[in-house]
Amino acid sequence: MIPRGAKLLTGAPEGVTSWINPSNGFKVIDLTFRADPRKRDPAWQVQAKKGMPTAEWSREYGETWIVYDGKPVYQDFDELHITAGPVAVPRRPRLISGWDAGPNDVNLGWVLGLTSPVQKGVQFIDHYFADDGDIEDFVQTVGSRLKLEWGRISGYQMHVVDQSVFIKSSLVRGRAVADVMRSHGMNPVPGEISFAKRRQSVERLLVTFHRSQDGKPIPDLQVHERCELLIEGFRGGYCYGRTTVVGNQQWKETPMKNKFSHCLNAVEYVCSKLELAMTDIPYEGRRLPYSSVV
């Protein structure tokens, strides 16, 4: 990664970048695969990518500098899935949020997705993570964000939750997290229990595309640049830990629990029930007809 203040050197061939390190004066040369003329052909790139997960390709041939020790849960996430600039709101927008909050869990995660029945897919536009176990404050903060920041986008809101939110908690005086949510006008919908099914719902959205009005392909799952925790989690922060067996190294069956896992779990809950939010409601936002034929 080129440091701030570095002096770029000109005249280098394609695929070669060089600069002077401002801290010690050393000359640094960065080679990419395009430095080899034989690998500049797009056909070579298509062939090389076959059978290789996107994350692995980015580490081996791309310019991904952050490498995590574990195995990323979602290896097909790349720069195409990141949106920048103003949030693009589709026609007939709907807000769907995901919650990861157990009855006695001090780590609480929330994400907000934007979808529409007329435009396939979901764009994640906000998130919130807390590690203090204050459920009352967490729900109140999320409710305030929805009203002050996102309420003008859509009146349709759906909240998909970890099923453990319906269990009574000692952290909120014998009430369940779901009770706290309802007191703030948010009715929880239980998400998918199976981790395998939740993971598959995310993976399908990562590899499928829809067309914009100008015909440009857009991934069905996008993350806005403001959601840095989600992006870092998709890039490898949300991962399977290592487990060593005799003669071979394998990965654990479930992801590691860390600051990324809770918000990415919330993403999974959203994706597992996304079709409910995308259901077309007849005459939504329009006047009902005066008469009809049955």
43-58 per-position pLDDT tens digit: 877 777 776 666 566 6
User: Quick one: pLDDT at residue 247?
Assistant: 54
Is 273 found in the same domain as 174?
Answer: yes
- How would you class 193 by CB atoms within 10 Å of its CB: exposed for 0-12, middle for 13-18, buried for 19 or more? exposed
* Number of domains composing the chain: 2
CA quadruple 54, 262, 240, 194: dihedral positive or negative? negative
Q: Residue 73 gets which letter from DSSP?
A: S
Is 241 found in the same domain as 107?
Answer: yes
Strands (E), the chain: 7-9, 16-20, 27-31, 71-72, 82-83, 94-100, 108-116, 119-130, 157-161, 188-190, 209-211, 217-219, 221-224, 239-245, 248-255
pLDDT at 118 > cutoff 60: yes
Residues 159, 152: Cα–Cα separation, whole Å: 17
User: Quick one: pLDDT at residue 217?
Assistant: 87
Q: What percent of the chain has pLDDT over 70?
A: 85
204-238 per-position pLDDT tens digit: 999 999 887 778 889 999 999 999 999 999 999 99
Is 83 found in the same domain as 46?
Answer: no
In degrees rounded to 5, what are phi and psi of residue 124?
A: -85, 125
Is 26 found in the same domain as 105?
Answer: no
What is the residue range of 93's domain? 79-277
Is 118 strand, coil or helix? Answer: coil
251-280 per-position pLDDT tens digit: 888 999 998 999 999 999 999 999 988 877
Are residues 103 and 176 in contact, defined by beta-carbon separation less than 8 angstroms? Answer: yes
Q: Within a domain: residue 290?
A: no
User: Quick one: pLDDT at residue 31?
Assistant: 77
Q: What is the CA radius of gyration of the chain?
A: 23
pLDDT at 285 > cutoff 60: yes
Is 169 found in the same domain as 118?
Answer: yes
Q: Within a domain: residue 284?
A: no
